[in-house]
Every structure is written in C-alpha cells, then in structure tokens.
C-alpha cells in the first residue's frame, strides 16, 4: 500500500492561517468563530458508512458508497476519493459522485500542486477554486460550477494513502463539527482500502498455496453489494446525534486498529458500557449446537455473576434472538430473566438486551446492565442496536481473518510435510 508519512496528522483542524472569523456560507457572512451549521444527522451518516466499511470487503463498493453518501447530508455539490501513487506522486481517482465525465477526464492530478498541504496531514480548504493558484485545473473548476474545494487526508497509522475531496457550488467554509465528521469518514475510507487489500492479499496467497499443492481453487474477492438499512425512522436530536457519532467513531477506531478478537472485544465492551452509562455490558454469541449463549467479552460484572450458569437461548430473554430489543425495568420480577436472584445479588435492577445482527441475521446478544430502575428511550435503544451491529461485524471479521490465516498456516505446513516447495 502506498503510504506517505504525515506531519502532525493527529490534528483534524485547520491551521492558524485558516481563520474561522468572518466566514462566508451560502453567500452570507457569519461574524464570529462559528459557521451557521446545516442540519446534519452525524450519527446516522457515520453509522451507515462504518457498517459498510466493516461488513463489505470489496473496496470499490465501499468507496463509491462513501462518495455518494457524504454529499447530500453536508449540502455539497460533489465528492471524490483519490489514492496516492507514491512513484508518480499523482492522485488516482477511485470513486466520485456528481462530477461530470468531462471534469473527471481533465487530466492527472499532481499531488505536489493540488493537495500539498493535505499530504502533511491537515485538511485544506480552497474557498475560490477558479482563482486560487493551488488549484491545478482552475478553468475546468469554473466550467464545472465548482466554487470551493475541501481536501481531507485519508490517514491510517500515521501515514496518508489518499485524499477525500468535497466540492461546493457556492463559496463555503465548514464548521469544526462538520470537519470532524468528514475527517472521520476520510479515515474510515483509508481503513476500507487497507482492510480490503489485506484480505485480498491473504486470499491470493491461499490460492497460490493451493495451486502449488495441486488443489483446484480460485480466490474471488467478495463482490457483495451493500444495502442501506436505517436504524430508526425517527430522527435523533442533533446534539445527541453528534455525541453518538463521536462514540461510534471511537468504537470503530478500536475495532479497526486490532484484528485479534480477544484483544478487541474487551475494549469494545468497556466503550459500550461507558457510552450507555450503565453498570455492565456483555457480548454474547449464539452456539446453535448447545443452544446456549456463549460469553465473548464483559465489563463491570463480577466473576461470581458471570459464572452463575449457562445462558439458554430458549430461556434467557429468547425474544431477542428473534430480532427484538427487550428492555426490563425490574429483573427481580420479570419471568424472562433466567437468573433473577443472581442479578439481584450483583446489584442489577434493569437490563437492556438487543440482538447482534450481521447481514440481517441474528448472531448474538448485546446485554446492558443498570443498577437503577431505568426505562431505555427509543433513541437509546437505536444507539445500542448500532453498537451491537458494529460489534457483531467486528466479531465476524476477526473470525474470518483468523480462519484465512489458519488456512494459510495449515497449507504451508502440509506442503512442507509433503516436500512440495512453495515459491
């Protein structure tokens, strides 16, 4: 993968030379340090993109979804994602939305001229694309109706592999909240590229090993299409939407930074408990052979409570395994609780169970435990569902990567045992 080391890439804010005072938005100027913000459902936008990145290993599918999905919520004209070629130092277009073929064919983008600042790890706003000397194709921008261009680096592990660009029809600056969302999406775009390439590389390695061993096998990357699925028909309050976005972004970062499931899930459980303001959290996985829910990770619960006995899929809130979210305000009296006495002794009073759904199939349960009598609101349940889904995808991905790694190790050992050289 082509990676350019970034300088100061931890920062997602404009440098001091890009002051936020007297900012122009849609033809109006807003005095002060904050732009009038359009209504953005941060959580919904980022959740949809995050679940696509984590669940679809076809990089083209994911990047086209990012390019398409980011345009309308942010009220911009168009978008493009570009990957940096280190040898030619040119940006290669990998996905775009609402840009004309004529504009896309204008010529190669020289990274040193077009986005030199962005390659240092800092988002760059060109407020007047038709006149700014930093823009390589100013005439073409004018003909395309592009007024401003925002270039945000796609950063992963301290290096930059590409740029996410947004184009506006009117001179425009962005709020810090909007910039944080865009930077998070650019970051997850970089994750999508890396994850897909790693997985495809492992698949190709496995295919070569099987071919060496005389096994007829051809690796095909997953071509699956991603289908949009809303968490809820009801909108979430904008302030909470932004808070939920930041939480799910932090969770996604945790998941994408570690492949090994054991290292990841304990951290995920802690993040979820913290985000939901509950006493404890469990991630449970269905074992269809034993008809039990197996504990994968937990947080905030004693070993005594965790060892209380097996959780039956048929007795421990079975409605959840049918896809329902179940909120219980008093575990001492609700018949759906399998171990009410153990819960009471643990100091648990309320419980929320939501299904862990991966590709529309229930695979496990996210269970939240509260020491207070707490009715969970609809938007809290929606948020818990999103966290459960992201967690489920993380579990599946970890298992998938481990299986492919185990397959490669098995075939290497087998070929070595048979005396067949692996080139």
Three-class HEC string of 12-62: CCCCCCCCCCCEEECCEEECCCCCCCCCCCHHHHHHHHHHHHHHCCCHHHH
CA neighbours closer than 13 Å in the CB half-sphere of residue 343: 26
Contacts 24+ apart (CB under 8 A), 138-142: 140/102, 140/103, 140/106
Q: CATH homologous superfamily for 4-201? A: GAF domain (3.30.450.40)
Taking only the tens of pLDDT, the chain with its 423 residues reads 444 444 443 333 333 333 322 233 333 323 333 344 556 688 888 887 877 766 665 778 888 888 998 998 889 999 999 888 767 777 889 999 999 999 999 988 876 565 666 767 788 899 999 999 989 999 999 999 999 999 999 887 677 888 999 999 999 999 998 998 999 898 888 877 776 666 666 555 555 555 555 544 443 444 344 343 434 445 567 677 888 888 888 887 777 665 566 667 888 899 889 989 999 999 999 998 899 999 999 999 999 999 999 999 988 888 999 889 999 999 999 999 999 999 999 999 999 999 998 767 888 999 999 999 888 888 889 889 888 887 877 677 666 666 667 766 766 676 665 666 665
By the 8 A CB rule, do 44 and 244 touch? Answer: no
What radius of gyration do the chain's Cα atoms show?
24
- Could you give the CA distance from residue 319 to residue 130 in angstroms, rounded to a whole number? 59
| 8-state DSSP, 133 | T
Q: Using the structure block, give the residue that is written with the tokens 């996410």.
A: 164
Q: Which of 325, 312, 332 is nearest to 388 (CA)?
A: 325
Domain 267-423: which CATH number of 3.30.450.40, 2.60.120.280, 3.65.10.10, 1.20.1250.20: 3.30.450.40
Contacts of 341 (CB under 8 A, 6+ apart): none
**Range(s) of the chain covered by CATH 3.30.450.40:** 4-201, 267-423
By the 8 A CB rule, do 400 and 393 touch? Answer: no
Phi, psi of 316 (to 5 degrees): -95, 90
**CA distance readout (Å), 294 to 180, 283, 301, 311, 363:** 37, 8, 15, 7, 11
> How many other C-beta atoms lie within 10 A of the C-beta of residue 418?
9
- Could you give the CA distance from residue 28 to residue 30 in angstroms, rounded to a whole number? 7
Contacts of 288 (CB under 8 A, 6+ apart): none
């Amino acid at each position: 993968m082509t990676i350019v080391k970034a300088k100061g890439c931890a920062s997602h804010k404009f440098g001091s030379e890009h002051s936020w005072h007297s900012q122009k938005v849609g033809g109006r100027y807003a005095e002060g340090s904050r732009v009038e913000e359009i209504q953005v459902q941060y959580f919904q936008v980022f959740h949809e993109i995050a679940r696509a990145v984590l669940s679809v290993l076809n990089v083209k599918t994911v990047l086209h979804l990012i390019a398409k999905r980011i345009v309308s919520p942010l009220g911009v004209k168009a978008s493009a994602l570009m990957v940096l070629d280190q040898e030619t130092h040119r940006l290669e277009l990998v996905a775009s939305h609402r840009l004309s073929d004529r504009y896309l064919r204008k010529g190669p983008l020289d990274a040193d001229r077009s986005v030199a600042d962005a390659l240092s790890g800092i988002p760059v706003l060109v407020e007047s694309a038709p006149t700014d000397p930093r823009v390589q194709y100013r005439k073409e921008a004018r003909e395309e109706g592009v007024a401003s261009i925002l270039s945000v680096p796609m950063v992963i592990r301290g290096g930059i592999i590409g740029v996410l660009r947004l184009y506006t029809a009117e001179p425009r600056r962005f709020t810090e909240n909007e910039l944080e969302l865009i930077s998070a999406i650019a970051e997850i775009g970089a994750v999508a590229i890396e994850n897909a390439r790693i997985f495809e590389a492992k698949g190709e390695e496995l295919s070569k090993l099987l071919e060496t061993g005389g096994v007829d096998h051809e690796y095909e990357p997953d071509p699956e299409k991603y289908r949009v699925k809303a968490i809820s028909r009801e909108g979430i309050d904008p302030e909470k939407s932004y808070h939920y976005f930041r939480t799910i972004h932090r969770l996604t970062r945790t998941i994408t930074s570690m492949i090994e499931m054991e290292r990841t899930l304990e951290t995920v459980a802690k993040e979820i408990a913290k985000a939901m303001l509950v006493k404890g959290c469990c991630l449970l996985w269905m074992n269809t052979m034993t008809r039990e829910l197996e504990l994968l990770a937990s947080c905030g619960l004693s070993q005594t409570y965790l060892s209380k006995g097996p959780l039956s899929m048929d007795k421990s809130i079975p409605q959840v395994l049918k896809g329902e979210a179940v909120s219980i305000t008093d575990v001492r009296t609700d018949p759906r609780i399998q171990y009410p006495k153990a819960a009471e002794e643990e100091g648990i009073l309320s419980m929320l169970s939501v299904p862990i759904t991966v590709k529309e199939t229930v695979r496990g349960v996210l269970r939240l435990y509260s020491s207070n009598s707490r009715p969970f609101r609809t938007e809290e349940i929606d948020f818990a569902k999103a966290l459960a889904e992201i967690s489920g995808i993380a579990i599946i991905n970890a298992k998938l990567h481990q299986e492919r790694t185990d397959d490669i190790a098995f075939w290497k050992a087998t070929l070595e045992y048979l005396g067949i050289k692996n080139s």
